[in-house]
Amino acid sequence: MNRADNGKAHISIVKSSDTRSAVKRALDLVGGLEKAVAHHSSIVVKPNFCGGVPGERGSHTSMPVLEALLELLVPLKKKVYIGEADGSFNRADQVFSTLGVHGVAKRYGAQVINLSTGPSVELTVPQSLSLKTLRVSRLLTESAIISVAVLKTHPWTGVTFTMKNMFGAIYEPEKALLHAGLDKNIVDITKVLRPALSLVDGIYAVKHGGFKYGVWVGYPPDKMDLVVAGHDPVATDVVCTTLLEKDPRHADFIEMAGAQDVGVNNPQQIKVATENYSYQPGVEPHSRG
């Protein structure tokens, strides 16, 4: 678990209309990319594509945020994959095509992969709350994972950021089968698919949502021009929850994750660095203009 020398988890929030700048600064404020992926020769960038409706702003990871990250990864000279798994309402290959992901990947020397296909492994879940084992793409166990989630509410868990994005990475295409005991399942999955780095795309956010084609989207999406970054997925989700005017204590999966020491869920143990933004734990942050 990556924490600062003072024992606190470091999270950053950057507000900017320049997406590339926002992504770079957010990562710089938590120590940069190289630190997070130093011990791996390959990286899987896991956006949230199948959890949204292509073209509905805020419902899925935006291409500008993905491109900004890929551009920063190029100098590291590692093998980079853009990976998403099939969902109950969206198939990854179709979404890749609709969003033009293959073309973007080619520009930055990355490879696109469907995490519900190819070689897989069965992992044992430690201190299981619900899932005893979990089938995942073997690539995820061999690479550093960078989660690129979105800033949005969720009809069943209240909010969805890094940890819920890891739920979306499992091999099983019919994710709805795991909605029974969803909060416990999210925690179990994060234990075995812990991202090396969490990036949250808040350029557009879903504060007030509704269903479209079976998927949660913004009605309307809120333009916030935010990027959040951190090494601790639980602490990242705590901070993101407050950005949506929600109380992290009411998100069961966050409370469970903290209780099982998956990460930091105590706001007093989270240090938030900001740029062009004012933040107070438990209080809706606001722009400094």
Model pLDDT for residues 117-149, shown as the tens digit of each residue:
999 999 999 999 999 999 999 999 999 999 999
All domains of the chain in start order, with CATH: 18-231 (3.40.50.11440)
CA max distance for the chain: 50
β-strands 79-84, 111-114: how paired?
Answer: parallel
Entry pTM: 0.94
The Cα 191–Cα 210 span in angstroms is 30
**220-235 b/e with 16+ CB inside 10 Å = b?**
ebbebbbbbbbbbbbb
Per-residue pLDDT of the chain (289 residues; tens, 9 = 90+): 445 446 799 999 999 999 999 999 999 999 999 989 999 999 999 999 999 999 999 999 999 999 999 999 999 999 999 999 999 889 999 999 999 999 999 999 999 999 999 999 999 999 999 999 999 999 999 999 999 999 999 999 999 999 999 999 999 999 988 988 999 999 999 999 999 999 999 999 999 888 888 887 888 999 999 999 999 999 999 999 999 999 999 999 999 999 999 999 999 999 999 999 999 776 443 333 2
Query: Tens digits of per-residue pLDDT, 207-228?
Result: 988 888 888 788 899 999 999 9
